[in-house]
Amino acid sequence: MSPARVVIVGGGTAGWMAACLMAKAWPASEITLIESPDIGIIGVGEGSTPQLRHLFRTLGIAEADWMPRADATYKTGIAFDGWSDRPGYTRYFHPFASDIDVHTQGAFHFTNLARRRGDDLPAQPDRFFLNAALAERRLAPLPADNFPFDATYGYHFDATLVGIVLRDHAVAAGVRHVAGRVMDAAVAETGDIAGLLLEGGRMVTADLFVDASGFRGLLIQEALGTPFRSFADNLFNDRAIAIPMPLAEDEDIPCHTTATALSAGWAWHIPLTSRSGNGYVYSSRHIDQDAAEVEFRTLLGPASDRALSRHLTMKVGRVERNWVGNCVAIGLSQGFIEPLEATALHLVQASVEGLIRAWPTQDRDGYNAAIARRIEGIRDYIVCHYRVNQRTDSAYWREAAALDTLSDSLRRIVHAWFSGGDVVAEIERQDIADIYAPMSWECLLAGYGTFPPDDRLRPAEDRVGLARIDDLIARSCLNFPSHRAALAALAEG
């Protein structure tokens, strides 16, 4: 069963992702996407999780057919720089978990537990995971055929260009593209949307309306009045500055995102084939726009002097219900958690796929509860980065470390970590490993170096075979090509 007529409002990444997935799942539906060229798209959102690979596979779009068109690069994970001032832990890597990590993650679990309990064993996560080593060596996560383990990866890309790839795919699959502005939404007594009034007076009706209109939430929030639950009490960042910069000749193209802590937030660095994406996500309560831009340009260096900046306001939180009557919110209209782990498009995809699965039963409550659980689970993982930060040099970081507005779930995880408990068992007990795997939680918590001070550690025998782990990872890396070479091969077709 599928809706006969679907109208999607919004032609940002969310709208076109929804159009592509719905056109595939519901070939008999008449799908129309309406977007206002005057309003435009947000145009940031350049990093993904591995879920995006699944999207392109589902749609049957090969990497060679979209990556060069979108200036895309491979992403093996995120390097966190400067979030802790503990010696040996000023930088750590959050890798996407690869197949071969099953051979090392038990050792990592053991060493971080033992170190928290006072054994002097190395517990910096980078040493234990393949993707951290690929990032360090600038290797593309594409194993040779004779290496029987996959590396998990996501992508970096130009958001506008990916939108064009998806638009072309959707239109080829039969989606109607209408350029026009929605001026008003008529709401029926039943609470459903009766129709949309377009500029010029045309009325559009549908069985399902998808609100992909961005932060404003034109249908779900403005027309239907669905309350918005802010996360401002434990996520302070509400602004961003984006300063894209051209690549210098022979500039390195890393295969990871870097998130560098600054005085009132953090800066992203995302390498594309033609330029780098750079942004400072900050709290306007702790720094004003001008001071933030000065601080950010100082980080970027003199090469940023001629690069233009864009200032953005972020609305962080979620709508109370995603699916109300005949309207479903997808993308920024459904909510946003700041971009630290680049999860927004992942959520778009999960929300559209969940809707397609739920459509035959029309189980709105079940769907809304599943989306809320996922958003709040991601929120907790992001909040944890701030709660356990080990910086004391600004009010922002001190306030973040003192946060006590944690969910019960996060409170129990943090307690397990600091009381020498078993974090993996706690995550399994809470049944939240599908949102962030225990390995991700342990990388985050260990990455900040929150262990007893070195002078309180007792000497400990290496019971996990660290030399064997180093060897396994070093030899595994021999099976991967350089990132630059892999991108050049894609571009050549």
Ligand X SMILES: Cc1cc2nc3c(=O)[nH]c(=O)nc-3n(C[C@H](O)[C@H](O)[C@H](O)COP(=O)(O)OP(=O)(O)OC[C@H]3O[C@@H](n4cnc5c(N)ncnc54)[C@H](O)[C@@H]3O)c2cc1C
List of residues contacting ligand X (CB under 6 A):
9-15, 34-36, 39-42, 44-48, 159, 181-182, 212-214, 218, 240, 279, 281, 312, 314, 331-332, 339, 342, 344-345
Residue placing its CB nearer to ligand X in the complex, 311 or 373: 311
Q: Where are the beta strands (DSSP E) in 138-204?
A: 154-156, 176-179, 182-187, 193-198, 203-204
Specify the residue, 81 or 85, whose C-beta has the smaller distance to ligand X.
81
49 annotated to bind ligand: no
257 is in an annotated binding site: no
Q: Residue 305: what residue type?
A: D
Query: 14: annotated binding-site residue?
Result: yes
- Counting Cβ atoms within 10 Å, is residue 233 exposed (0-12), middle (13-18) or buried (19+)? exposed
Cα(67)–Cα(65) distance, rounded to whole angstroms?
A: 6
Q: Which residues pair with 74 in a beta bridge?
A: 155
Nearer to ligand X, 340 or 413 (CB): 340
Closest to ligand X by CB, 41 or 443: 41
Residue 75 known to bind ligand: yes
d(CA 390, CA 80): 12
Residues 6+ apart with CB under 8 A from 268: 47, 257, 258, 259, 277, 278, 279, 281, 339
| In the complex, least distance from residue 424 CB atom to ligand X, rounded to whole angstroms | 27
Beta strand extents in 157-231 (DSSP E only) = 176-179, 182-187, 193-198, 203-204, 208-211, 228-230
**Pairwise CA distance, residues 43 & 200, whole Å:** 27
Q: How far is the CB of 114 from ligand X (least distance, A)?
A: 35
Q: Shortest Cβ distance from residue 453 to ligand X (Å)?
A: 36
Q: Using an 8 Å Cβ cutoff, are 227 and 320 in contact?
A: yes
CB of 199 to ligand X, least distance (A): 8
Radius of gyration of the chain (CA): 23
β-pairing, 208-211 with 327-329?
parallel
- Where is 108: in which H helix or E strand? helix 105-116
**Rounded to the nearest whole angstrom, what is the least distance from the CB of residue 301 to ligand X in the complex?**
21
Shortest distance, CB of residue 171 to ligand X, whole angstroms? Answer: 15
Q: Is the Cβ of residue 182 or residue 403 nearer to ligand X in the bound state?
A: 182
Whether residue 11 is annotated as binding a ligand: the answer is yes
| 103 burial level (CB within 10 Å; 0-12, 13-18, 19+) | middle
Token pair listed for 270: 């995302």
Q: How far is the CB of 51 from ligand X (least distance, A)?
A: 9
253 contact partners, CB below 8 Å, separation of at least 6: 73, 138, 247, 271, 273, 483, 484, 487
Residue closer to ligand X (CB basis): 133 or 347: 347
Integer Cα distance of 104 and 412 in angstroms: 26
Our answer to whether residue 75 is catalytic in this structure is: yes
**C-beta closer to ligand X: residue 123 or 240:** 240
To ligand X, the closest distance from the beta carbon of 38 in angstroms equals: 7
How far apart (Å, rounded) are the C-alpha atoms in residues 452 and 456?
6
Report the C-alpha gap between 347 and 378 in whole angstroms.
10
Q: Hey, is 328 helix, strand or coil?
A: strand
The answer to whether the beta carbons of residues 443 and 109 sit under 8 Å apart is no
Of the candidates 15, 45, 50, 75, the residue annotated as catalytic is 75
Measured from the CB atom, the residue of 194 and 489 that comes closer to ligand X is 194
Residue ranges for the binding site for 7-chloro-L-tryptophan?
Answer: 75
Residue ranges for the binding site for FAD?
Answer: 11-14, 182, 332
Point out the residues that are catalytic.
75
Residue ranges for the binding site?
Answer: 11-14, 75, 182, 332, 341
